[in-house]
Amino acid sequence: MAISTNIAGGRAVTLDERKITQIETRNVESRSERLRQRSWQFWFTLPIYPYNNRRTIRTEVTPDTIWTFDQVQGIFYVVVPIRMTVVKLVSGGLLVYAPVAPTGECLGLMDELVRLHGDVLYIILPTISGLEHKIFVGPFARAFPQAQVWVSPDQWSFPVNLPLSWLGLPQGRTQILPQDSGKTPFGDEFDYAILETIDLGPGQFAEVAFFHRRSRTLLVTDTIVSIPIEPPPILQAELYPLLFHARNQSSDLISDTPANRLQGWHRICLFAFYFQPNVLEIRSWSETFRKSLRAGDRSRQGYFGLYPFQWRAGWQQEFTDLCAGGQLLVAPILQTLILNRAPTQTIAWVDRVSQWDFEQIIPCHFDAPITTTPNEFRAAFDFLKSSDKIDANLSTTGNNLLQQIEHQLVRWRIIVPAQQKV
């Protein structure tokens, strides 16, 4: 039973109402605190979604040994996971591979590991071209001033190559990874293989794969992925992008159902890998503006009702072909524009990595961990071999735009031509 009480100059208020008000106030305060903890103040260095509000999910992959920290990133709600991996060292302390945004929430989750397992001793930047990985290394390293920073060779910046310290990497404790992993202080627990720098013309590409012997885990950045059928947990916690792309037209309401989450994720994957899949029709701007007037969501979050996409019949099969049951996949942009510029050195790197007896792979994007074998890893790069047929996934899905982009970039001499297959 609610008990009434008088307040000065006003009506009688029940204790139940007071409790509700207190709960609502606490909820507002807790929401405000969550937003503050997820704030990323340097979002303008790479102004893509989710801008200054980045949620972090930590997952224990190998008990008491390996953890992943997932955030999201994307453009026009085409968002995918971006992942940092933390490994506990036998001698104590932690190694961090490919840092993510060091928000208060992320650092709080890291501090829990530090209290249990020791300081962050080593921070690894395993790429030279992935800006979405490079921009977080300096800020992350400043949160752990005792850590050594190790970066892949041939770091570069555009339009002018700058010293590493000018790129935010801490001076005095940043070192280049040598070719021989045994020359590093973590070489007794890790092997690594450096993909020799691939010259693309305006820029360069390279990646360092790390092998943790004790857990038989391979850490990679961008070279290999696996597409899960279900949206990853970090996207289940950030539903709006999934539901935005689940719509068939702008007049459809944003509706959270399991089917819409699934449909939105599958379409996001096709966007992410092909930019403009063949099964996608782009409406004219005049039609897009006209339909936006009847949009179910005309908020700023919903881009004021602008939704220029029309998916053709059969798009679900295109996702099924691309996903291929979660098998290992080299992203189409790497197949079409990057790795085929240096097939010999890429295959040499693949052969070296395949000598390790890993049982799982943790990439920086999409699914993780991926249970697999060295032979399956090697087979994912068969598109670089002349005896191999055209990859089935790419021959049946919308790769036309990437091929057109490659043709124009080579024609304009912006990038170097592809080399002959091995």
DSSP-assigned states of every residue in 319-388: HHHHHGGG--B--HHHHHHTGGGSHHHHHHHHHHHHTS--SEEE-SSSS-SEE--HHHHHHTTGGGSTTS
Mark residue 168 as left, alpha or beta (left: phi above 0; alpha: psi -120 to 50; beta: remaining).
left
CB 84 within 8 A of CB 100: yes
Give the pLDDT score at 395.
43
| pLDDT recorded at residue 2 | 41
Type of residue at 101: A
Position 170 in a domain: yes
SS3 state of residue 158: coil
Q: What is the CATH number of the domain that holds 216?
A: 3.60.15.10
Structure tokens at 240: 């709006």
What is the per-residue pLDDT for 386? 84
User: Are residue 145 and residue 280 in the same domain, yes or no?
Assistant: no
For residues 220 and 345, state if they share a domain: yes
pLDDT at 414: 79
Query: Would you state the pLDDT for residue 150?
Result: 97
Range of 103's domain?
A: 57-226+330-384
User: Rounded to an integer, what is the distance from CA 180 to the centroid of its chain?
Assistant: 28
Read off φ and ψ for residue 225, nearest 5 degrees: -145, 170
43 inside domain: no
User: Domain end: 291, 323, 355, which one?
Assistant: 323
Q: Residues 280, 264: one domain?
A: yes
Is the pTM higher than 0.95?
no
Task: Tell me how many domains the chain contains.
Answer: 2
Residues 306 and 207 in one domain: no
120-125 and 94-97 strand pairing: parallel
Whole-angstrom CA distances from 154 to 96, 162, 208, 269, 310 are 20, 12, 12, 31, 43
Radius of gyration of the chain (CA): 24
- Judgement on whether residues 129 and 204 belong to the same structural domain of the protein: yes
Question: Does 406 map to a domain?
Answer: no
Residues of the chain falling short of pLDDT 70: 1-29, 159-160, 387-399
What b-and-e string marks burial along 99-121, b requiring 16 or more CB atoms within 10 Å of the CB?
bbbbbebbbebbeebeeebeebb
Given 323, 341, 370, which residue is the final one in a domain?
A: 323
